[in-house]
Amino acid sequence: MDRRNFVKSAGASGLLLVSSKTAFGYAANSAVRYGLLGCGSRGTGVATSFARNAGARIVALGDIFPDQLAAGKQHFDQVNASLSQPAVDPKLLFRGWDAYQQMAASKDIDAVQISTPPIFHIEHLDGLTAGGKHVYCEKPVGVDVPQTRRALDIAKKHDGKLSMAVGFQIRSAPPFMELVNRIHQGQIGKVSALTGHYDSIPKTYPAHPGMGHDEVRLRNWLWDKAISGDILLEQNIHVIDVCNWVMGTHPVSAFAKKSRQVITFGDISDNYEVVFTYPANVSFTFTSTQFNMKGAGVSETFHGSEGYAESPYNGPFGITGKHPWQWTGNPAATPQNNLAEADAMKDRNFIASIVGGSFQNQIPAGVETALSCMMGRKSAELGRTVTWDEINSDQERYELGFDVKQFR
């Protein structure tokens, strides 16, 4: 099965009509027994959404650090109580570097959310799917190209047997779904150029006095290039994914620059400037900063022969030109939040795919976008244009640099 056909077959799925029984024997109204691997702020927030919006029953937690595991239990015991569900059984609290292996072996878990640092995503995906677990994996699908190859092997092995979702929740946001559909119908004419940006406000590096160097790196993984994959891959990937979605394919080349101008902690870049080129010589100009004093902001603009479309996270959203259209949902929000329904819709689709037996396989599409970002990252490192064929043959591996098994 070649990559292009595999990716085409793995698009975002819609809501499913659930049968009374599935191949796994779940009743249609049974809650999926859900485990969270990685009890940090993002993981906790996403799993809470699964419980509140999709009916998942949080039954298990795993984390490498005991304090985060304890905080996770306290939080989800409260969430479960509010939903008339029992507290998390202490027997289903899994601690240490091998928590994912323990969760994979448990017969009391149906699905696991991977919210661990990105360098571990593929190892955890492999172990959990080998244990028969459905998996919701946060982006990115790998921090280097060899990891993406492993991810595609996993996707092929379990295709049609397990649901494997990737955390691109924007693809489930109603305003974005409607806009992309209208662009594909030709409502801005021929798409001729794209622009986009992802600006983050300045952040402070958390202090961990008395803590060992390796643990500090793990707890502050966002600012560690080897663990996160750098900002273009770990954070900015959402913008590149939306553009791939609109274009229906990946860029064929990238020319990029990056640097560290303001941030003094960790070793990630704090700004990127990338020109991606799509087929037919369509350019996508992208910028990113980690020190934007105006405040956070994320948006894409699609320029066509008969108009243009704007898709910001917040604010006016729609098409200007020959076929004007504006998204009018969520009118009470100021500014308008165009991602208000994204998480809930994404969560419901994943759970419905499990209960209904129509399993998702979003790994190939996740790999395609991850490789697009890696192509830009490699270009910035080499100081020259990098092509799609070149990044696909890349052999560089990101190494953690210490033994994670010290954390038991």
pLDDT of residue 293: 87
Rounded Cα distance between 76 and 93, Å, is: 12
Residues in Cβ contact with 25 at an 8 Å cutoff, skipping those fewer than 6 apart:
none
The answer to whether the CB of 2 falls within 8 A of the CB of 368 is: no
Rounded Cα distance between 294 and 188, Å, is: 30
pLDDT of residue 332: 56
Q: Which residues of the chain have pLDDT under 70?
A: 1-30, 330-334
Q: Pick the closest to residue 73 from 63, 62, 88, 95 (CA basis).
A: 88
The answer to whether the CB of 303 falls within 8 A of the CB of 195 is: yes
- The packing angle between helices 145-158 and 363-382, to 10°, is 170
Tokens of 384: 């020259």
Mention the CATH class of domain 171-338+369-392.
Answer: alpha beta
Tokens of 371: 């490789």
pLDDT of residue 4: 45
Rounded Cα distance between 98 and 371, Å, is: 28
| CA pseudo-torsion sign 6, 301, 137, 172 | negative
Q: Pick the closest to residue 105 from 114, 92, 120, 122 (CA basis).
A: 92
**Which CATH number applies to 3-170+347-363?**
3.40.50.720
Q: How is 276-344 classified by DSSP, letter by letter?
A: EEEGGGEEEEEEEES--TT--EEEEEEEETTEEEE--SBS--EEEESS-EE----TTSSS-BTTTTHHH
Distances (CA, A) of 239 to 43, 195, 286, 299: 21, 10, 9, 7
Rounded Cα distance between 253 and 391, Å, is: 9
pLDDT of residue 294: 86
Neighbours of 132 (CB within 10 A): 15
Q: How is 360-375 classified by DSSP, letter by letter?
A: -B-HHHHHHHHHHHHH
Q: Where are the domains of the chain?
A: 3-170+347-363, 171-338+369-392
pLDDT of residue 23: 37
